[in-house]
Chain A
Amino acid sequence: MKAPANLLFFVLVFLLQVVLSDYLHLGPWLYLCLIPFIILHIPLSRSPHYVMLIAFALGLGLDVLSLGVPGLNAFAAVMAAAPRKTFYRWLVNRDRQDQTEVPTLRGVGIAKYSKYLGAVTAVYLTAYILLDCVSFRPASFILIKFAVSTAASLAAGLLLAVAIQKRI
């Protein structure tokens, strides 16, 4: 897939995230987030500074456009962006042979891709839900929300990965 088309796809994913956050009432138990999917697809050759700044901008943009608490998604996005490369080395490229610029579902296989996406999504949601709910809501609520949201976001991310694969 060409770079401009790629960029357009991720802009559309971001707008979809805004619509999901702003207009779709999924209930208090579920937070469907697609930002980790976008963070994952920033080329691995990019510096951590670049990735964190992009993640911060995406998170803050989402907070502002969906009239959420400003800083909530920005905090979670930076938290997820920072260990992205480490997760890649641990979960996808343990033997350091793969020199992929952007890991894809087809390139690394569904198992590794799911683990990679799942890890980044889990970090994002841990930061988001803890900052949103901790000290206000019981641990059971936080745990259930985390489990439901991670599963749903991972599933949505995999669907998007399949969609982007068809465009390549």
Chain B
Amino acid sequence: MKSRYGLLSTLTAIVLFIVLETLSLLLVVERGVVQRYKVLGAVHAVESWFWQRTSQIGYYLNYRAENERLAAENLQLRQQLAQYAAARQQLDSLVRIVEPGYTYIGANVIRNTVDRQHNFLILDRGSGDGLEKGMGVVTARGVVGIISSVTRHYAYVISLLNTDQSVSAKLSGNASFGPMSWKGTDPREAVVSEIPVHVQVAPGDTVFSSGYSTIYPPDIPLGCVVETKVSKGSSQELTVRLFEDFRSLHGVYVVQNMRKEEIGELYEGAR
């Protein structure tokens, strides 16, 4: 009788083990952050409030560096604006100015991780500010990630520093492009793969976003090439030093592609 009870206990323990591990794996595969926000909305509301306060303290402690960075960015944008104004004057009489098709919403990072394999950010803007799942997040110095879920006041962003993320990148001076993804160790290093072997790439070449997706606009500078190597004999793998330092992210822009739905409809129609 005792041995029968022991066997039954062992069997139920094995079944429980399988059930708990399967449940864990399902959660890992799903990674539904929205679900967690719904289930534990109150917990995250408290956490978000706390992160916002702590991030504000951090911001005030680092405001000098942040101001210098913004001033430099402002100067660069003013220079670009002057160039565009001059170019527009020349082109106005020739062609109709085409709308760029993107709008930007400013947001602040209140939570950011860089030392995990699945890093994320929390922004202090949410659905109430027009943010939606699937929108890209950028800065003047690179792409940051994609919004995975939103609440009314906050957005959860899957960082580029994540095993699940890549961005279509192109090289300056030629039409070659390939996916760029994080290497997994240094927050400032990424890898661009699938660049054909015949394409000449030199250390120092700049890598930009290609714009071949509906998430990120084209021509955002991402980083510069520091190393090239041939991978599997058929393509090159470029190690890229990112311009954006994810460890000191504060102000970001959320990108809304005004023509995303139209492009999606075209794509669906073609299929």
Interface, chain A (partner B; CB < 8 A): 25-29, 47-49, 52-53, 56, 59-60, 63-65, 67-72, 74-75, 78-79, 82, 131-133, 136-137, 141
Among residues of B, the one whose C-beta sits closest to the C-beta of A137 is: B184
Residues of chain B within 8 A of A71, CB atoms compared: 23-28
- CB closest residue in chain A, given B29: A71
Which residues of chain A are within 8 angstroms of B21 by Cβ–Cβ distance? 75, 78-79
Q: Quick check: B184 and A70 within 8 Å, CB to CB?
A: no
Further pairs besides A28-B184, A49-B13, A68-B116: 8, Cβ < 8 Å: A47-B13, A52-B20, A53-B16, A65-B47, A70-B36, A75-B24, A78-B20, A133-B117
By the criterion CB–CB under 8 Å, are A67 and B120 in contact? yes
Q: Chain B: which residue is nearest A56 at the CB level?
A: B20
In the A-B complex, the 6 residue pairs with the closest CB atoms: A71-B27, A75-B24, A71-B28, A136-B163, A71-B24, A48-B13
**Please, how many angstroms separate the alpha-carbon atoms of A59 and B20 in the complex?**
11
Report B8 CB to chain A, min CB distance, Å: 12
Total A-B Cβ pairs within 8 A: 93
Q: CB distance A141 to B24 under 8 Å?
A: no
Q: How far is the CA of A29 from the CA of B116 in the complex (A)?
A: 9
Interface footprint category on B: 20 to 34
- Docked-complex contact B27 and A26, CB < 8 angstroms: no
How many Å lie between the Cα of A137 and that of B13 in the bound state? 33
Residues of A near B111 (CB, < 8 A) are: 67
* CA of A69 to CA of B32, assembled, Å: 9
Evaluate contact between B31 and A69: CB separation under 8 angstroms. Answer: yes
A70 contacts B28, CB within 8 Å?
A: yes
Task: Compute how far the CA of A49 lies from the CA of B17 in the bound complex, rounded to whole angstroms.
Answer: 8
Contact in complex: A136, B24 (CB < 8 Å): no
Q: Which of chain B's residues have a CB closer than 8 A to the CB of A75? A: 21, 24-25, 28
B28 smallest CB distance to A (angstroms): 4
CB pair A49–B16 under 8 Å, yes or no, is yes
User: Which residues of the other chain, A, contact B31 by a CB distance below 8 angstroms?
Assistant: 69-70
User: Could you tell me if A78 and B24 are in contact, using CB atoms closer than 8 angstroms?
Assistant: yes
* A78 engages B17 (CB within 8 Å): yes
Q: Does B266 contact A (CB under 8 A)?
A: no
Give Cα A56–Cα B16 distance, bound, in whole angstroms.
11
Residue in B23, B30, B40, B117 whose beta carbon sits within 8 Å of that of A136 in the complex: B117
